Structure 1
Amino acid sequence: MYKLLCATSVVLLGLVACKPHEEQVKEKHTAGQQLVEKEAALAKGVGEALQKDGQSAAEELAAGAGSLLKGIAKGVDRAEELTIVLDGSSSGKGLKVTRSQYVGSGQESDTLKLYVMSAQAYSGKLHLRAFDDKDAEVGRSDKVEAKLDADDAKYVEFKFDDATPVSRVKKFVLFAG
């Protein structure tokens, strides 16, 4: 009887100590759910921080990039500022140049754009001559037909032979006629 009582006690104790399979699955499900909730809360916190501080950081980054690009553009404009002088033939016809831009090299020519303004009507040919630092002429543009009304302005393109050393030119002189 003692043996039977011991065996029964061991079986009962084993049944009480072991959790049923369904209870174990439920505990694992709850643990998994808690883990997902914790990770979701972390992701939500990161998202909220990015919405709050990320917008500010992105604005600062964009402002810095904008300033950088403006600085580059100003530097390029300054680098492209060219000295343009008007010959008596062009200034006497009421022409004026307020902006110049080196457009670049084509296949067989370098191109320079000038913003030409006219106080009086002008119809005729224009061309540029290029001079180096010793005031020696080093190239001439093709002659361009221009038609400007009184109080008019437009960009005019001047093409130079690719042999013209445009990078060494110190001034360009605009001739009319």
Structure 2
Amino acid sequence: MKKTLILLSALTLMVSCMSKEEKMKEAEADGNEAIAVKSKLIEGAGKALQEQGKAAAKSASKGVGDVIKGINSGMSESISQSDVIPEASFKANFEECKAEKIYASNDDKVKKVTIYLIAKNDFKGDLILKAFNADKKEIGRSRLKADIKKDDAQYVDFTFDERTHLLQTEYFTIK
């Protein structure tokens, strides 16, 4: 009886179990269905990208471009531009100004600072530009003669000794 029961159980299992081929076909069908669903998702995403992607890419590109411009601008300003603190005599004759440091090649050994002057009054005389480091210590100075009429404007170049470390300049004073 025991043997019959075991045989019947084995026979039932064999009949109820799918063959390897049947399992493969079912797996293939399930895989095809899963791929079809994913394909539809990808197709939908593709259509959305076609419609919205151009605007998104343009916006992202503009953002990246603005960041790069900002970095370049910040680098240029931090290296070449400095504040100029005007003394009372300068304020009486000129508008506020900024200084642009210019570094020539090592062969030229020219170091100069260009300032754009806007005259409030007629001015004829000497201007003195002093360079200061972060410790508020003077590290260089330059003097030039200026002759400018009221409401005129011009660039002036203050030439510094080649040993002046303009990269270390934190600010300038002018009088």
How would you bin the TM-score normalised by the shorter chain? 0.5 to 0.7
5+ unaligned residues in a row in structure 2: which ranges?
Answer: 1-53
Q: What is the CA-CA distance between 1:63 and the residue it aligns to?
A: 4.6
- Check if 1:82 corresponds to 2:87: no
For 1:129 and 1:153, how far apart are their aligned partners in 2?
Answer: 21
Give the residue type in structure 1 aligned to 2:98: R
* Pairs within 5 Å for 1:144-163: 144-163=144-163
In structure 2, the partner of 1:170 is: 170
Number of paired residues?
126
Q: What is the CA-CA distance between 1:77 and the residue it aligns to?
A: 4.1
5+ unaligned residues in a row in structure 1: which ranges?
Answer: 1-54
In structure 2, the partner of 1:16 is: none
In structure 2, the partner of 1:140 is: 141
For 2:103 and 2:115, how far apart are their aligned partners in 1?
Answer: 13
For 1:76 and 1:132, how far apart are their aligned partners in 2?
Answer: 19
For 2:58 and 2:96, how far apart are their aligned partners in 1?
Answer: 40
In structure 2, the partner of 1:116 is: 117
Q: What is the CA-CA distance between 1:60 and the residue it aligns to?
A: 7.4
Aligned-residue CA RMSD (Å): 3.1
- Check if 1:67 corresponds to 2:66: yes
Q: Per the alignment, do residues 155 and 97 of structure 1 end up closer, same or farther by CA in structure 2, a change over 3 Å counting?
A: farther
Provide, for residues 77-108 of structure 1, a one-character-per-residue CA deviation record: whole Å limited to 9, x for no partner: 4313312111233223x213333212213522
Q: Are 2:103 and 2:111, in contact at CA under 8 Å, matched by a contact in 1?
A: yes
Q: What is the CA-CA distance between 1:144 and the residue it aligns to?
A: 2.1
In structure 2, the partner of 1:130 is: 131
For 1:70 and 1:133, how far apart are their aligned partners in 2?
Answer: 27
For 1:136 and 1:61, how far apart are their aligned partners in 2?
Answer: 45
Q: Are 2:83 and 2:98, in contact at CA under 8 Å, matched by a contact in 1?
A: no
For 1:148 and 1:73, how far apart are their aligned partners in 2?
Answer: 34
Q: Per the alignment, do residues 62 and 147 of structure 1 end up closer, same or farther by CA in structure 2, a change over 3 Å counting?
A: farther
What fraction of aligned residue pairs are identical, expressed as a percent? 25
In structure 2, the partner of 1:105 is: 104
